[in-house]
Structure 1
Amino acid sequence: MVYPGAEVPVRAGLRTTDVEEARAFCRKLYYAPLRIEPVGDPGRFDFSADVVELGPITVGEVGYGTDIRVLCDGLETSYHVLAPLTGMLRSRHRGTVVFADPTRAVVYRPTGDIELDWPGNCRLLSVKIERGALERELDAALDQRVVSPMPLGASFDLVDGPGRTWLALVRLLLSELRGTDGLASQPRMAARWRDMVVSGLALTVEHPYGEEPAGLQGPMRPRTVKRVLDVLHTEPWRQYTAAELAAIAGVGVRVLQDAFRQHVGMSPMAYLRRLRLDGVHAELSRSDPGTASVSEIAYRWGFTHLGRFAGAYRSRFGVSPSATLRDPS
């Protein structure tokens, strides 16, 4: 059995002069509503991409060869960073225009439409991080309540400070994942590297909270709550009881429930259900409908009653699990 967290990298690459083929590739790997329109010399269209999916993150190096315009409706499911390696990209998102180049990355929150003017000489690193993964990382690792979507800044520096380190980490990860015999080829090692990319972005991007990490608010959580959160995030598929979680925390059931409601905003079991649902949603979104099974994925994440699971899934995401598997957009 392969447990969530031990991810196997999946590589996808394409080089083509066919616009429709490039569109289909990007819609499958990134967002179905994505629209790509050449505005430069169509004869110079030369799309090339080398992309690796690793659980909740998708990292790729992408270029088009000619000037293009990219339009995308609200991302909803993911945070996204574009970091040019060459050239300059003009981005408009949520009313803010950013010019990204090798000195500055552009950041997208999962809300609001996106418009890109992407010149032919611009080749960039594209980093997509599933919304739940970034928010859960802060939620668990930093002992803080986060707002959703997190109010991340529109861009960050790639030359100095943490942005330079984060970009170097992403480039090294992509290079390692392209190979077959590096450390990143080991699933557990790759998962740790993936987590560094996710948490590193949260601590790199600009935000309006002074020295506080982006999007954080609320008091530090007590140790009893942190112990239970650590366990739930480590093994979300296990069948816990309220009494077992209370024993892990070292307090009574009622005390733990009250502490969770105060510091997490819901009961331990409600938090576990949300964690599992987000995990199932992420896995369904990146699975092949020809080979994956909703029931198998649900069972792997700890859901034993498929009827109740389907109802809870629809309540959280507005669609059925099978609809997500067929159309992950």
Structure 2
Amino acid sequence: MDVPAHVGLRTSDMAEAREFCRNLYYGTLQIEPVGDPGRLEFSADVARLGPITLGDIRYGTDIHVSIGALETSYHVLVPLTGRLRSQHRGATVLADPTRAVVYRPTGDIELDWPASCRLLSVKVERAALERELDAALDQRVVSPLPLGASFDLVDGPGRTWAALVRLLLTELTAPDTLVSRPRMAARWRDMVVSGLALTVEHPYGEEPAGLQGPHRPRTVKRALDAMNADPCRPWTTRNLSAVAGVGVRVLQDAFRRHVGMSPLTYLRRLRLDEVHAELSRSDPGRTTVSEVAYRWGFTHLSRFAGAYRARFGRTPSQTLRDRP
């Protein structure tokens, strides 16, 4: 079970602030002062909880931020004060307390961040949000998700989601709260991910050509729910078909038609995503690739390594060693 972790920093040293953000968010992150560097008053409270990283951050002086080749996560910035100018994938967004900016895991990011801006920074691992939207819509989705570049914070689900994130971060950074207990934290974590999946703008439901998949029959949904609820279980096609209430061949045909792969291929992809997420946030001095692989049901390490590299373009050991 994921255990919440909180870290904070107050500093007037730009190099220290830069290293703090690189370690917790992205190794490619570049931060350069635009205003007076002597006025830097960096302040950050950041909490990690499984696939999400929440931060309350301000710099106290004008800065420019560049993030190259975002690939591993979706990201949302919610200004609490001031206005942020963002450029990503050809779109410019002026984010302020009335509008959040959203980043897909593809392409570079450029931010003009003024001294007046304090914001909530929400990082969600790619696989976690994609699985949640896939389940919420009960249909196939493409990766990366074609999300809108921003959403409203004044009315509707955006306001509720931002309030949820802010409350969760406050509770995770305070001592001895109910949310700091792993079981409760896991429920709040799931609410943040599922809430974001239902808040962001996306084309699903409008049936854009080539994007919308068919709605899945109940038998397929039962098998998907079972695998997502317990991916470590040694599932076979036979006991998945029993869960679904149909024969093996019927389930396999339904999966190929409505999911695009066999049940066990889906299960392997699900487990690989979980391994990738755990390696990305683990300490290489305390964790080994084999431990994580075995924990998620991979018993043949050479086959696992080949499948991992085919899916993520790098070896498991590289992910563990080069974690953000």
TM-score above 0.5: yes
Deviation at 1:251, TM superposition (A): 1.2
> Could you list the runs of 5+ residues in structure 2 that have no partner in the other structure?
none
> Could you list the runs of 5+ residues in structure 1 that have no partner in the other structure?
1-5
Q: Helix, strand or coil: the match of 1:33?
A: coil
| Conserved 8 A contact 1:67-1:118 | yes
Task: Identify the residue that residue 239 of structure 1 maps to in structure 2.
Answer: 234
Matched, 1:164 2:159: yes
Task: Identify the residue that residue 60 of structure 2 maps to in structure 1.
Answer: 65
Deviation at 1:74, TM superposition (A): 2.1
Structure 2 CA distance for aligned equivalents of residues 224 and 271 of structure 1: 15
Q: Helix, strand or coil: the match of 2:224?
A: helix
Matched, 1:10 2:5: yes
| Conserved 8 A contact 1:284-1:325 | yes
TM-score (norm 1): 0.95
CA offsets 1:153-202 (integer angstroms, 9 cap, x no match): 11111111111101010011111111243231222221121111111112
Structure 2 CA distance for aligned equivalents of residues 273 and 319 of structure 1: 17
Task: Identify the residue that residue 307 of structure 1 maps to in structure 2.
Answer: 302
Task: Identify the residue that residue 121 of structure 1 maps to in structure 2.
Answer: 116
Equivalent residue for 2:273, pick from 278, 302, 311: 278
Structure 2 CA distance for aligned equivalents of residues 292 and 272 of structure 1: 23
Across the aligned residues of Structure 1 and Structure 2, the Cα RMSD in angstroms comes to 1.5
Structure 1 CA distance for aligned equivalents of residues 124 and 268 of structure 2: 21
Structure 2 CA distance for aligned equivalents of residues 208 and 184 of structure 1: 34
Deviation at 1:13, TM superposition (A): 1.1
CA offsets 1:234-265 (integer angstroms, 9 cap, x no match): 11011111111111111111111111111111
Task: Identify the residue that residue 204 of structure 1 maps to in structure 2.
Answer: 199
Deviation at 1:107, TM superposition (A): 0.4
Structure 2 CA distance for aligned equivalents of residues 99 and 141 of structure 1: 29
CA offsets 1:25-64 (integer angstroms, 9 cap, x no match): 1111101111000111010011111000100000010111
Deviation at 1:210, TM superposition (A): 6.2
Structure 1 CA distance for aligned equivalents of residues 258 and 271 of structure 2: 20
Q: Helix, strand or coil: the match of 1:146?
A: coil
Task: Identify the residue that residue 254 of structure 1 maps to in structure 2.
Answer: 249
Aligned length: 322
| Conserved 8 A contact 1:166-1:197 | yes
Percent identity for Structure 1 against Structure 2:
77
Deviation at 1:223, TM superposition (A): 1.1
Task: Identify the residue that residue 3 of structure 1 maps to in structure 2.
Answer: none
| Conserved 8 A contact 2:205-2:212 | no
Q: Helix, strand or coil: the match of 1:133?
A: helix
Task: Identify the residue that residue 144 of structure 1 maps to in structure 2.
Answer: 139
Q: Helix, strand or coil: the match of 1:231?
A: helix
TM-score (norm 2): 0.96
